[in-house]
Amino acid sequence: MPRERPNRRRAITILATAVAGAFIAPTRPRADFVGEYVWQGTAMGADATIHLSGIRPGEARAAVEMVVAEIGRLESALSLFRADSEICRLNREGRLPAAQSELRRALALGLAVAETTNGLFDPTVQALWEAYVDWFTADPDAGALPEEELAVARAAVDWRRVHLADGLVEIGQGQRITLNGLGQGYVTDRVAALLRARGLRHVLVDLGEQLAIGPRADGQAWRVARTDGDTIRLTEGALATSAGAGCPFGANGLAHHLFDPRTGLSARHWRHLTVYNRSAAVADALSTAFYAAPADEIAALVARVPETHVWATDLDGSAHHWGWPPSAGLML
């Protein structure tokens, strides 16, 4: 069994709320009523919400049924919590000669972000996660992870040892893959693509990361509250936030789940960090990567990724931002 406890940023798992009765809408609306509908459920180990604006009840229910089915399909490839998923098989066997396209696409994106960020994002950090979870599960009051155990885990962390070719996915000796750092965003992008293809243009998808497909039907932007910061008005594109406090290890919170892959230690630069990008998966991965970087490194990296904007609050409570001016779909 994979040794990973549930948290906001875990790889894909879906506990789908029944679609029937999952809408917040006017009582017994007419079939031709056009309004705003909200589906609320649980997806990827976190509360999930899809806001549908300017849509009829039957169209809204059909759209959500499609979304729930799509999340279930993606789970079969990406979930660390299903022993029969492709990512779990890859971690057990070390190679998959004919992997599904979803695993290959998600992993290829992760490797591309790893290269762009000089390894600040690394999908092979699962060994670090397992080492920390095992250490603090055995004794929640334990001190820091011993250097020798940290060294063993770090030896398995290197995105450059992952090999993709045609349908083949292969990882290095002793490596395990996690897509925690971009999984929620990847599924958000896929869900949004399906809704766009269905002709919907006034939607906010929130599966842990927020992605807007146009404004509300009345033209108003979606308002997304940012922790320790201003509300962001979003009409197109995605936001992703990382915070170490979201998943601390041990009774004293000596470590958390957002590692600097270069040291194996929990990152200690920021309280919260939010990234905007047109892609929720890219925003998700960059928020993971940038959380482990100091301010000057973030500034250099943001310049390499078009239409990316970053807000961060440091440990002293000071606000920082990079990537101005904002994009067309983003307003403060």
Whole-model pTM over 0.75: yes
Classify residue 170: in a domain, yes or no. no
Sign of the Cα torsion 64, 330, 294, 230 reads negative
Classify residue 175: in a domain, yes or no. no
Domain count, the chain: 1
Classify residue 195: in a domain, yes or no. yes
The whole-angstrom separation of Cα 180 and Cα 200 is 28
Classify residue 194: in a domain, yes or no. yes
Enclosing H/E stretch for 132: helix 126-138
Q: What is the pLDDT of residues 184-237, one digit of tens each?
A: 899 999 999 999 999 999 999 999 899 999 999 999 999 998 766 678 899 999
The whole-angstrom separation of Cα 145 and Cα 280 is 33
Q: Which residues constitute the domain of residue 32?
A: 14-81+184-219
Classify residue 193: in a domain, yes or no. yes
Decide: 237 and 38 in contact? Cβ < 8 Å: no
Question: Which three-class secondary structure state does DSSP give residue 232?
Answer: strand
Classify residue 113: in a domain, yes or no. no
Q: What is the pLDDT of residues 241-269, one digit of tens each?
A: 999 888 888 877 889 999 999 999 999 99
Quickly state the pLDDT bin for 317 (edges 50, 70, 90).
Answer: very high
List beta partners, residue 271.
Answer: none
Q: What is the pLDDT of residues 74-123, one digit of tens each?
A: 988 988 878 889 999 999 999 999 999 999 999 999 999 999 999 999 99
